[in-house]
Amino acid sequence: MAVTNLTYKPQFQLLGLMDGTDPHPLLFLLFLSIYLLNALGNLSMVVLVRSDGALCSPMYYFLGHLSLVDVCFTTVTVPRLLATLLHPGQAISFQACFAQMYFFVALGITESYLLAAMSYDRAVAVCRPLHYGAVMTPWRCFVLVAASWAVAHLHSLLHTLLISALAYPPSAPVRHFFCDMTVMLSLATSDTSAAETAIFSEGLTVVLTPLLLVSLSYSSILVAVLGMRTTGGRHRVFSTCGAHLVVVSLFFGSVLSVYFRPSSAYSARYDRMASVVYAVVTPTLNPFIYSLRNKEVKGALKRGFRWRAAPQDE
């Protein structure tokens, strides 16, 4: 079927975030501003982590990779979203549609595993502070990041192959701002039961594994916090882990609400709004949530500004 699809070259029309054919210039400006803010925040975080020697701990190593994933994650979808806000019904080829799906799924899963790695890092820092350096070695951090990328791309490849092998009409409207798995399953004209079974079983394992790891990490942190005798220690833990917990809740909550239900329960309007949360809003908020209450990141930013201003003062 995949060969047949490529032979007939079906075209899809991305209808965008809103129903109807009217342009939405105000929404265009809003999402353009969000996208530019996303790129500024995440790329600044990547540069800071790479250039500032004070940000060399495992937490910032993971945060640098998370920021890189976030800027790529939004770049996969937001440019198409911006185009459909001005010109709804943008045509997208079969190959481009499934390429977009592949990278969207791969980057989304990578983000989920990086969030799990960061929660593990926080759990070790809180529960085993004296052994933190021995546990979170550079090699182990590298393995965690490499495994996140590898699992995500293998998962995405499987899903993309399964869904692209289905039959589609020569021209079909996609009621979304990108080629999402749930949308493409609903558009298929052939039987999707086998693909749905494989996607739900394998996908449930791949997506719930990082969620389980996050839950176990924060359960350990909670037990450690309850055992602390000083309120100052508890406050430090909450200030360190609170930002990460907000990001995890936003990301996993919206992802689970979209993907883990049968296609018969598909709702275009709900899926589009929920997708904005995890595909646009959360990646944009991440660098700011992690940095606003982080003294080390604030210090690195100040040092960076002073370094840039120094030649002008001379």
Q: For residue range 243-269, list pLDDT tens digits in order.
A: 777 778 888 887 777 776 655 555 677
Q: What is the pTM of this model?
A: 0.86
Between 248 and 81, residue with greater pLDDT? 81
The predicted model gives 39-68 an average pLDDT of 85
pLDDT at 295: 67
Q: Is the pLDDT of residue 5 over 60?
A: no
How far apart CA 44 and CA 253 sit, in angstroms, is: 27
**Phi/psi of residue 172, each to 5°?**
-140, 140
Write out pLDDT tens, residues 104-156. 999 999 999 999 999 999 889 888 888 888 999 999 999 999 999 999 999 99
Could you give the CA distance from residue 105 to residue 259 in angstroms, rounded to a whole number?
Answer: 11
DSSP annotation of 275: H
Structure confidence at residue 314 (pLDDT): 44
In CATH, the number for domain 14-289 is 1.20.1070.10
- Is residue 211 over pLDDT 80? yes
Supply the mean pLDDT for the chain.
83
Say what the pLDDT of residue 111 is. 92
Give me the sign of the Cα torsion angle 193, 195, 198, 201.
negative
To the nearest 10°, report the CA torsion of 248, 254, 257, 258. Answer: -130
Question: 31 or 237: which carries more pLDDT confidence?
Answer: 31
